[in-house]
Homo-oligomer: A and B are copies of this chain.
Amino acid sequence: MAKDIVKPKTLSGFMELSPNDQILFNKIKDSIRRNFELSGFLPLDTPTIESAEVLLAKAGGETEKQVYQITKGDNNLCLIFDLTVPLAKYVASRENELAFPFRRYQIAKVYRGERAQKGRFREFYQCDIDIIGRDKLSIECDAEVPSTIYRIFKELNIGDFTIYINNRKLFSGLLEELNITDKKVEVLRTIDKLDKVGQENVVSMLLEIGVSNEKINKILSFISITGSNEEQLKKIEKLGIKNEIFLTGLDELKSVLKDMENFGVPKQNFQLKLSIARGLDYYTGTIYETFLNKNKEFGSISSGGRYDNLAENYTDKKLPGVGMSIGLTRLFDFIKEKGLIQSQQNSISKIMVLPMTDNKSACIDVVAQLRKAGIASEINFEDTKFKNKLNYANKLGIPYVIFIGDEELSSNALTIKNMITGEQDKLTVNQIIDKLS
């Protein structure tokens, strides 16, 4: 029967890794999970598909355009585009059974039909942690979340990084003090573009909105405050702003910066930065962005913040929270390409057993013993030349090969070869297990 061959292509914008890159990717994912769990976050695994009504309850125009919609019978379904909306749904629907503060992590793929381009993915892993309170949530959580993120990037060892911290109440308070709260959203949106379009453009945009030159100067000089955290705090206090929201934000900020150190984050890894804004409506207090010091062009490798109300679309209960997120797929793509991290492992197996005898049962028994002892191993019975089998072990980067011939079996001493150094040894199975455990 003649078959039509379909070209086996993978969609653009979807990451599909070689086995050795996948091993590396999983190692990073495992490290993120381990550190989330070390801070007591509970695992969640919500569905990838939700009803459009639930998923798009809050979404605006831009998000909605990117959402993957699904046709299935009469149902209007969508693929999740982040892990926050599913969390809101989850917490709202189980509010009576959960213990608050509810600390959860979720590491899962989400979907956005963005224009495919280098470094952009339509399917990507988000790695989220959030602590949700009922009615209230202590400010110490605002330091605990970034301290967990700190441990991850420290462990990943992909270069020096800084977690930038701000509090949106400061800027809101400043705008109140300057009497321009009616233009707050537009001003915030404009300031948020500072890094992208430059100060000159921001000034003319603010003028257009109708902010006076004097006020623009006050805003710009405020967000341009630099120095160590202590120096910045002093400069802020010196401004003598008496606005209540501003002062609340300042108190929170001081508390978070102090607690970061207590949580073990070294001073060089976090910094107050008044110019970060992080979107518009959602965040209401502390906000975070994280940058690789030598690769700022990538943008933030982990962001998040404090919000007043997680699930206002699903419940009238007040559920404040604080969270951060790592976009793992894009980050992996970047650090791999920049050489900030290297695959060191092509194989899961530590040992390949090569039978050179007709007594296959004895060879299988060896691999069974190795596995029982927890040593990942494989056995190769393929009917190819000896050289091909060694090439196979080399290609996979399997560090040890055991040759088993009749002589080895009768003397109970197997030949084990270190494939990196070339060194050979004659050892019993138990000695091999001791050596590699």
* A window 305-348: CB within 8 A of B: 311-316, 347-348
Residue from the list B6, B23, B53 in contact with A43, Cβ < 8 A = B23
Number of interface residues of A (CB under 8 A): 111
Question: Copy number in this complex?
Answer: 2
Residues of B within 8 A of A11 (CB): 47, 49-51, 75, 77
Residues of B within 8 A of A316 (CB): 3, 5
Residue from the list B18, B72, B138, B311 in contact with A381, Cβ < 8 A = B138
Residues of B within 8 A of A3 (CB): 312-313, 316
Nearest B residue to A363 by beta-carbon distance?
B262
The reply to whether B138 and A40 contact each other, CB–CB distance below 8 Å, is no
In the bound complex, what is the Cα–Cα distance between A254 and B186 (angstroms)? 77
Q: Does any Cβ of B come within 8 Å of A423's Cβ?
A: no
Q: Does any Cβ of B come within 8 Å of A189's Cβ?
A: no
Q: Does any Cβ of B come within 8 Å of A48's Cβ?
A: yes
Q: Does any Cβ of B come within 8 Å of A203's Cβ?
A: no
The reply to whether A133 and B382 contact each other, CB–CB distance below 8 Å, is yes
The reply to whether B6 and A99 contact each other, CB–CB distance below 8 Å, is no
The reply to whether A103 and B378 contact each other, CB–CB distance below 8 Å, is yes
Nearest B residue to A26 by beta-carbon distance?
B43
The reply to whether B22 and A264 contact each other, CB–CB distance below 8 Å, is no
The reply to whether A311 and B8 contact each other, CB–CB distance below 8 Å, is yes
Identify the A interface with B (CB < 8 A): 3-11, 14-19, 22-23, 25-26, 37-51, 53-54, 57, 68-73, 75, 77, 79, 88-90, 92-94, 97-101, 103-104, 109, 111, 113, 122-123, 133, 136-141, 143-144, 147, 151, 258-259, 262-264, 311-316, 347-349, 352, 360-361, 364-365, 367-368, 371-372, 374-383, 392, 395-396
